[in-house]
Chain A
Amino acid sequence: MSATSDYRRREESITLASEPAGGEGETHELLTLNIGPHHPATHGVLRLIATLEGEVVRAIKPIIGYVHTGIEKTAEDKSYWKVIPVIERMDYLSYYFNAMAFCGAVESLLDLEVPPRAQYLRVIHLELNRIMSHLVWLGTSALDLGAISMFWYCFRERETILDLFEYSSGQRMHTRYFQVGGVMEDIPGGFEAKLRKFLANMPTRADQYADLLEKNEIVLQRLQGTCPLDRETLLSLSVTGPLLRAAGVPWDLRKAAPYSSYDHFSFKIPVGTVGDNYDRYRVRHAELYESVKIIEQALDGLPEGPYITSDRKVALPPRHELATSMEALIHHFKLVTEGFRVPPGEVYYPIEGPRGELGCFVRADGSAKPARVHMRDPSFSNLQATEPMVRDSYIADLIATLAMMDPVLGGIDR
């Protein structure tokens, strides 16, 4: 199918050429329109300065920084294990991923082995988080396209996931479940049954979302053929994740450079063909099923054993040891007051977040606090692709594209 749909072909009165429309020497007036920073369609506090010619976007400039809270700076003033809660609040829809990137970076600085059970528990929670993040994206994006009921359906399933998070860690969001060396606690009894119920349910729900959206003429016209971007441009703009896979590049760090025993599981990487908004939607939607598959396999093969490293210099001793072992008490005291020290060095630990490559750079100077923490947030890099995507397309397509890009401003501004 060509890049222009029927709907667009019928609109012959507006030229989509880059030159101003009109006759010789005649230029149409350009309108500069400010969108945001407080606008429901910008998915956060993103401000866009759009230059319009009629209804066609000629240039767009994203302005960010409205929720910059200096988390990277704050992290430099906290001991390693106290950094985890602040790091989690960067990209507020993928808190397990933020914690995973940071913990993974610190673990490789410490040369720390994570027990297999902890790795599997991490995978279960990471993939649940991926489904949760995609559900929020699907609900809010459908809202932008005018499908209000999708929002309630997606948030219904999201609520089930948040209940599971609450069950395993006590918190619905920003759970601080991942620790350096493993996870905070083993999953409680009954977690598996609840999770299995959800896993049995989720593919059917995803089918229902697809039925609601993919058989809807309005959604199809808004998505199909709108704002495609070729893979070379995406790669040169450092775009990763579903946006890149939608253009047909099967790049997924879970397959390419497996971490946390992702190589134990069999799953597929959904890719698109033309890289338009419809492909972006389909890739994320297909990832819902793959994540369910991964969780099922992780749950089936969940190994026995400790859920956190037995290295007492890094992980807190079990509570019952404190009453009987002086050594445990000393370790507990040292960890809680000073934290653990990390040998000097630098590390960049990339993982596959719901939006793309989430890399954590940590520089340790030998003290108990990191000397520099930097998060390579996928939303930050992906946002640069907005202009090439929406240039010379309608302003309504800008809203749809922004929805399909799934930017999380907490991650962009950090």
Chain B
Amino acid sequence: MPDVTGLELAAQELRDRDPDCLVGTEFARGRAVLLAAPDRAHAVVESLKGAGYSFLASLHGVDYWPEEPRLGVLYELLDMDRIDRITVKTRVATDAATLRSVTDLFPGADFPEREVYDMFGVQFDGHPDLRRILMPEDFEGHPQRRDFPIGGEPVLFTYNEQQNYGQYQ
């Protein structure tokens, strides 16, 4: 993990190239996080990839409800040579949940982005095959959002198949 100074240096380097690409940094418990502007997240990930963080260890979504903007997408990047991890976090609102896909940089982001789309409803522009991955394709809603209730989903039988199966509202 870069220390606080290393994180600020990395952030400054990114800001020199594009002054509006970052909205802040976070450092806690040895974890370095760059907060990227949603429209620049792809560029930030791309320049970090060029700086050596060439392995996408994980990509996950978070719902920060009731904070706004609600949805967060986190890219856990890894530099295998220096054994260094850095996180890029970007926040989008539920009504404008669109990000540029990083599948052109990391083909391995394919499944994780589909999962974030499935669970949180974040659209990834440029993704080759953005479909639901874990939930059934006719499912409505995005179940990992905090306001999606647990349980109460009707089991599909012949008698109730016409009655809004998969809807939660």
| Proximity bits, A68-100, B CB within 8 Å = 1, else 0 | 101011101100000000000000000000000
- Chain A's closest residue to B1 (CB) is A257
- Chain B's closest residue to A63 (CB) is B133
Interface locus among B16-24, B56-64, B155-163:
B56-64
The reply to whether the CB of B166 lies closer than 8 angstroms to some CB of chain A is no
Identify B60's interface contact among A73, A239, A374, CB under 8 A: A374
Q: Could you tell me if A361 and B74 are in contact, using CB atoms closer than 8 angstroms?
A: yes
The reply to whether the CB of B31 lies closer than 8 angstroms to some CB of chain A is yes
Q: Could you tell me if A236 and B29 are in contact, using CB atoms closer than 8 angstroms?
A: no
What residues make up the interface of B, taking CB atoms closer than 8 Å to A?
A: 28-31, 33, 54-58, 60-63, 74, 76, 80, 83, 85, 87, 106-112, 115, 119, 132-136, 143-144, 146, 148, 150
The reply to whether the CB of A363 lies closer than 8 angstroms to some CB of chain B is yes
The complex places the Cα of A47 from the Cα of B20 at a distance, in Å, of: 44
Identify B57's interface contact among A359, A372, A384, CB under 8 A: A359
Q: Could you tell me if B108 and A384 are in contact, using CB atoms closer than 8 angstroms?
A: yes
Chain A residues, Cβ within 8 Å of B28: 345-346
- 12 A–B contact pairs at CB < 8 A? A74-B150, A235-B54, A238-B57, A238-B108, A238-B112, A256-B83, A348-B31, A359-B76, A361-B58, A374-B58, A376-B58, A376-B76
Chain B residues, Cβ within 8 Å of A236: 106-108
The complex places the Cα of A256 from the Cα of B143 at a distance, in Å, of: 36
Size category of the binding interface on chain A: 35 or more
Q: Could you tell me if B55 and A235 are in contact, using CB atoms closer than 8 angstroms?
A: yes
Within 335-367 of A, Cβ neighbours of B (below 8 Å) are at 345-348, 350, 357, 359, 361, 363
Chain B residues, Cβ within 8 Å of A376: 57-58, 60, 76
Chain A residues, Cβ within 8 Å of B148: 73
Most buried by B among A77, A235, A346, A361: A346
Q: Could you tell me if A72 and B144 are in contact, using CB atoms closer than 8 angstroms?
A: yes
Q: Could you tell me if A361 and B60 are in contact, using CB atoms closer than 8 angstroms?
A: yes
Main secondary structure on B side of the interface with A? mixed
Chain A residues, Cβ within 8 Å of B133: 64-65
Q: Could you tell me if B58 and A251 are in contact, using CB atoms closer than 8 angstroms?
A: no
Q: Could you tell me if B54 and A73 are in contact, using CB atoms closer than 8 angstroms?
A: no
Chain A residues, Cβ within 8 Å of B143: 70, 73
- Nearest chain B CB to A93 CB, angstrom units: 19
Q: Could you tell me if A68 and B135 are in contact, using CB atoms closer than 8 angstroms?
A: yes
Chain A residues, Cβ within 8 Å of B30: 108
The reply to whether the CB of A109 lies closer than 8 angstroms to some CB of chain B is yes
Q: Could you tell me if B144 and A73 are in contact, using CB atoms closer than 8 angstroms?
A: yes
Q: Could you tell me if A64 and B134 are in contact, using CB atoms closer than 8 angstroms?
A: yes
Chain B residues, Cβ within 8 Å of A374: 58, 60-62
- Nearest chain B CB to A108 CB, angstrom units: 6
The complex places the Cα of A414 from the Cα of B107 at a distance, in Å, of: 22
Known: A235-B80, A238-B58. 4 other contacts (CB 8 A): A73-B143, A235-B54, A348-B87, A350-B58
- Contacts A68-B134, A70-B143 known; A384 to B29 CB distance under 8 Å? no
Most buried by B among A76, A236, A239, A383: A236
The reply to whether the CB of A392 lies closer than 8 angstroms to some CB of chain B is no
Chain A residues, Cβ within 8 Å of B56: 238
Chain A residues, Cβ within 8 Å of B57: 238, 240, 350, 357, 359, 376
The reply to whether the CB of A281 lies closer than 8 angstroms to some CB of chain B is no
- Contacts A361-B58, A374-B60 known; A73 to B108 CB distance under 8 Å? no
The reply to whether the CB of A111 lies closer than 8 angstroms to some CB of chain B is yes
The complex places the Cα of A74 from the Cα of B144 at a distance, in Å, of: 10
The reply to whether the CB of A381 lies closer than 8 angstroms to some CB of chain B is yes
Q: Could you tell me if B29 and A109 are in contact, using CB atoms closer than 8 angstroms?
A: yes
Identify A237's interface contact among B29, B74, B107, B136, CB under 8 A: B107
The reply to whether the CB of A380 lies closer than 8 angstroms to some CB of chain B is yes
